[in-house]
Amino acid sequence: MVEFNTQNFRMWSIMGVNPCIWSIAFPEIITKKENVLALTADLARYSGMMRTQSKYPNCFYNFGIAEQNMVGVAAGLAMSGYQIFMTTYAPFMTYRCADQIRHCLGNMNLNVKAIGSAAGLSAGLSGNALLAISDIALMRSIPNMQIFSPADCTEAIKIMLEVSKTDNPAYIRFCGSTNIPIVYTQDYDFQIGKAKVLKEGSKILLAATGFNLVANALKAAKIIEEQTGISVAVTNFHTIKPIDKDYLKTLSNFELIVSIEEHSIIGGLGSAIAEFGIQQKSFPKQIFMGVEEKEHILGKRDFMLKECGLTPEKIADRVIKELENDK
Amino acid sequence: MTELEELEIFSNKIRKTALDMALSSGKEGCHIGGGFSCIEIFAVLYGKILNINAQDPLNENRDRFIPSKTHCILPHFASLMHRGFISAQEINSFHENGGLLAGHPENPQIGLEFSGGSLGMGLSLGIGMALAAKKKKLSYKTYVLLGDGECNEGSVWEAFMAAAQFKLDNLVAIIDYNNMQFDGNNDNVMSISPIEKKLEAFGWEVISCSGHNINELLHALKKEPHNKPLAIIAHTIKAHGIPSLENKAESHHASLSQEDYNFVINAMKEGIYGRV
């Protein structure tokens, strides 16, 4: 039984997300539930799956570097009564397998959870091909697909345990693997599709998602408040689809919403909020912080987050400038 | 009556229903070419091989049939009708807006295990079903019908690799090898030859036969290789037996003329079907 306590939160953060998924969450799922299988495409070692595999060898399949076949097989297994968790790097999971995911998982609404590791800017040093900065956009457009992006390692485990209770297809993305800052120091109630307010505020809302960025939004909020005296709220959108419309309905009194994500500013969390907001009679102005469509200087994730203006200081600067422009 | 004679009669029933469906689609037409290249394959599968029951369509141990090539709805829906999964009225809905059979639906209740249309996916699904049978220690078999043109898709070759890797001797791939794809002859567009040698090299048990010879198909489908998947290369003719469409790439999606319809009906009556 996984214990959610402060000591474990610290340990999980040090371990990094991959062991959290495959050594903490997955064993919990397969000991509670029958007919659950894990698939990978030659990433058993990288994902940390291998350790659990040696303990539960009958629950794992490796399909080699052939992701499209893996998704099709996942669909066939799901049609035969299995729940599937499958993983590879996010760009291969989503872009390469888009048609299989669209049709076999989305249209047929099958119980397959696709886990995209090294999403966002994680693999920047390896080149453009390894970036996954429009994976959310692609997955959002697929019917029945739920999309998750945890704020820290604890939330990654909570997402795994909660999605195992659902029958829909899901996409779970992780940006980065180790040195993930802790957002939650105390246990909390996680609900699929319910955004989590982390800091109350009244004028500006930082709406963030994902490893590091939710933590960065909390730091940025402090900087903005210190420098301007304006009240800033921070909300964690761990579920991007379905977006929490009930929560979005309560935002009309804010003056500014800032969406913050390790993703293209096209089609991600920011777009999901704006698609809702534009249909309201009154909804705050929104600015989109994420990866702009331009030629990026490539490098390690922390370097690229800086390049894209997603550090606490740069988030704060951008918001303060926006406030000055609006004066 | 011998098993062979029964299957000949069953194949004529399927063919007659497929002709009626094609004629009813009028000038709009339908997928005739790839449908009539596999009439006998369907006759043998649905007349003899597949362990399925319209009264118990979701039985966990039913055989699975995946129409990966998809352009075979004429014989497929006709087979389902003659096995009692769908009614004569329902079968006409295949080209009607909102019909039960519109748009290659997936609906195991009526015997449709997979909604095809995007080529190159069915064999992977079949692998999933065959792996599930092994894990659950169920005896059902999974049959996947692929088009030869479909074998241009890279994902099919990923699946060919995986099926052998997992030693799926409960999986059968049937390739409808009419040597014709949308833009013409396979060998001129993108050849898959020599498919037999390629699949053998991939670790499959391979049998070649005439896809219009019921006896040869029956023999091939009854083969039970040990520890490896079975591939049947069924050599066929596109729009087989239809005078103005036979062996023409244009038959892929075409309308059926009354003359062709009458010709095939008469040929079946006289027992000379296929000798155009």
Q: Phi and psi (nearest 5°) for A36?
A: -115, 130
Contact of A77 with chain B, judged by CB distance below 8 Å, is answered with yes
C-alpha distances (whole Å) from B255 to each of A38, B18, B19, B244, B259 are 47, 12, 11, 11, 12
Is there a contact between A268 and A261 (Cβ–Cβ < 8 Å)?
yes
Mutate to test the interface with A, among B58, B121, B146, B167 (most CBs of A within 10 A): B121
Residues from chain B that touch A64, judged by Cβ atoms under 8 A, are: 161-162, 165
Query: E strand or H helix at B40, and its extent?
Result: helix B39-44
Cβ–Cβ < 8 Å for B204, B229: yes
Of B113, B118, B165, the CB nearest to A103: B118
Q: What is the mean pLDDT of residues B105-109?
A: 85
Residue B118 has pLDDT above 60, yes or no: yes
- Residue the block writes with tokens 């992780």: A174
Lowest-confidence range among A68-77, A129-138, B98-107?
B98-107
- Token pair recorded at residue B108: 């195991």
Answer whether residue A324 shows pLDDT above 80: yes
Partner-chain contact B106 A61, CB within 8 Å = no
Pairing of strands A146-148, A239-241: antiparallel
pLDDT mean across residues, chain A = 96
How far does B248 lie from chain A, in Å, by closest CA?
30
Q: Does A96 touch chain B (CB under 8 A)?
A: no
Secondary structure letter of residue A227 according to DSSP: H
Calculate how close chain A gets to B23, using CA atoms only, in Å.
Answer: 30
Return all residues near B30 (Cβ < 8 A) that are at least 6 apart. Answer: B21, B22, B73, B74, B94, B95, B253, B254, B255
pLDDT band at B275 (very low <50, low <70, confident <90, very high): low
- pLDDT tens sequence across A140-183: 999 999 999 999 999 999 999 999 999 999 999 999 888 899 99
C-beta atoms of A58 and B135 within 8 A: yes
Output the DSSP codes for B208-271: EEETT-HHHHHHHHT---SSS-EEEEEE--TTTT-TTTTT-GGGGSBPPPHHHHHHHHHHHHHT
Residue to mutate among A37, A73, A92, A144, with most B CBs inside 10 A, is A73
- What six digits make up the tokens of B118? 């995007």
Residues from chain B contacting residue A72 (CB–CB below 8 Å): 121-125, 127-128, 155, 159
How confident is the model at residue B240, as a pLDDT?
96
Chain B residues with CB-CB distance to A83 below 8 A: none
Asked whether the beta carbons of residue B129 and residue A80 sit closer than 8 angstroms, the reply is yes
Q: What share of chain B is helix, strand, coil (3-state, %, to 5)?
A: 45, 15, 40
Give the residue among B136, B87, B137 at the shortest CA–CA distance from B111.
B87
pLDDT tens, residue by residue, B7-51: 999 999 999 999 999 999 999 999 999 999 999 999 999 999 999
CB contact under 8 A, A104 and B132: no
A151-164 burial, b if ≥16 CB within 10 A, otherwise e?
Answer: bbbbbbbbbbbbbb
| Residue type for position B62 | R
State residue B260's pLDDT score.
96
A76 contacts in chain B (CB < 8 Å): 124-132
| Angstrom distance (rounded) from CA A199 to CA B266 | 81
| CB-based contact B131 A73, cutoff 8 Å | yes
Query: How many contacts, defined by CB atoms under 8 Å, are there between A and B?
Result: 87
Distance CA(A222)–CA(A233), nearest Å, equals 10
pLDDT of residue A233: 98
The whole-angstrom separation of Cα B101 and Cα B222 is 30
CB contacts, 8 Å: B121 with chain A:
72, 75, 99-100, 103-104
Q: Do A80 and B136 touch (CB under 8 A)?
A: yes
Residue B2 has pLDDT above 70, yes or no: yes
A71 touches B: beta carbon within 8 Å: yes
The span from the CA of B275 to the CA of A45, in Å, is 59
How many whole angstroms separate alpha carbon B193 and alpha carbon B236?
Answer: 15
Name the residue among B106, B132, B158 with its Cβ closest to that of A69: B158
The tokens of B66 are what? 């995946």
Measure B114 CA to nearest chain A CA, in Å. Answer: 9
Instruction: Say if CB A72 and CB A112 are below 8 A apart.
Output: no
- Interchain contact A6–B (C-beta under 8 A): no
Collect all residues of chain B within an 8 Å Cβ-Cβ radius of residue A104. 121, 125
Residue A90 has, within 13 A of its CA and on its CB side, a CA count of 32
Residue A57: is the preceding peptide bond cis (ω within 30°)?
Answer: no
Tens of pLDDT, residue by residue over B123-179, are 999 999 999 999 999 999 999 999 999 999 999 999 999 999 999 999 999 999 999
Q: How many Cβ atoms sit within 10 Å of the Cβ of residue A54?
A: 9
Q: Could you read off the pLDDT of A178-231 as tens digits, one per residue?
A: 889 999 999 999 999 999 999 999 999 999 999 999 999 999 999 999 999 999
pLDDT value of residue B143? 98
Taking CA atoms, B93 is separated from B74, B90, B97, in Å, by: 12, 5, 8
C-alpha to C-alpha distance for B114 and A130, rounded to whole angstroms: 33
From A76, A100, A104, residue closest to B129, measured CB to CB: A76
Please indicate whether, in this complex, the C-beta atoms of A68 and B155 are within 8 angstroms of each other: yes
* Residues in A touching B166 (Cβ below 8 Å): 61
Residue A201 structure tokens: 């505020």
Minimum CA–CA partner of A64 in chain B: B162
How far lies A220's CA from each of A316, B95, B173, B234, in Å? 5, 58, 58, 66
Show the DSSP H helices in chain A as ranges: 6-15, 17-19, 26-32, 44-47, 49-55, 67-79, 90-91, 98-100, 135-140, 153-163, 213-228, 245-248, 269-277, 301-307, 312-325
- The pLDDT of residue B276 is above 80: no
pLDDT at B115 exceeding the cut of 90? no
Distances, alpha carbon A65 to alpha carbons A40, A259, B203, in Å: 9, 35, 18
Mean pLDDT of all residues in B239-247: 95
What span, in angstroms and rounded, lies between the C-alpha atoms of B61 and A233?
Answer: 56
CB A120 within 8 A of CB A173: yes
Write out chain B residues lying below 8 Å of A69, CB-based. Answer: 124, 127, 155, 158-159, 161-162
Asked if B22 and B77 touch (Cβ cutoff 8 Å), the reply is no
CA–CA dist A302, A300 (Å, integer): 6
Q: Does A252 touch chain B (CB under 8 A)?
A: no
Q: Is A83 left (phi over 0), alpha (psi -120 to 50) or beta?
A: beta
pLDDT in tens, A33-61: 999 999 999 999 888 888 888 899 999 99
As a whole number of angstroms, the distance between CA A290 and CA B142 comes to 46
Chain A residues with beta carbon closer than 8 angstroms to that of B132: 76-77, 80-82
Inform me whether the C-beta atom of residue A73 falls under 8 Å from chain B C-beta atoms.
Answer: yes
- In percent, how much of chain A has pLDDT > 70? 100
pLDDT grade, residue A82 (50/70/90)? Answer: very high
Residue indicated by tokens 């062709």: B260
Residue A48 CA to residue A117 CA, distance in Å, equals 11
A99: contact with B, CB 8 A cutoff: yes
pLDDT over 90 (residue A290): yes
Chain B within 8 Å of A143 (Cβ-Cβ)? Answer: no
Pairing of strands A204-208, A170-173: unpaired
The SS3 call for residue A197 is strand
The answer to whether B128 contacts A72, with C-beta atoms less than 8 Å apart, is yes
Beta-strand runs (E) in A156-223? 170-173, 196-199, 204-208
Walk across the sheet containing B64-66 and list its strands.
B64-66, B142-147, B171-177, B230-235, B205-210
B223-B224-B230 Cα angle (round to 5): 80
For residues B247-264, average pLDDT: 95
Give me the pLDDT at residue B68, please: 96
Q: Which residues of B touch A73 (CB under 8 A)?
A: 124-125, 127-128, 131, 159, 162
Q: So what's the pLDDT on residue B131? A: 98
For the beta carbon of residue B38, count every other beta carbon within 10 angstroms: 30
Q: Which residues of A touch B159 (CB under 8 A)?
A: 69, 72-73
Number of CB atoms found within 10 A of residue B238's CB: 26
Q: Work out the mean pLDDT of chain B and round it to a whole number.
A: 94
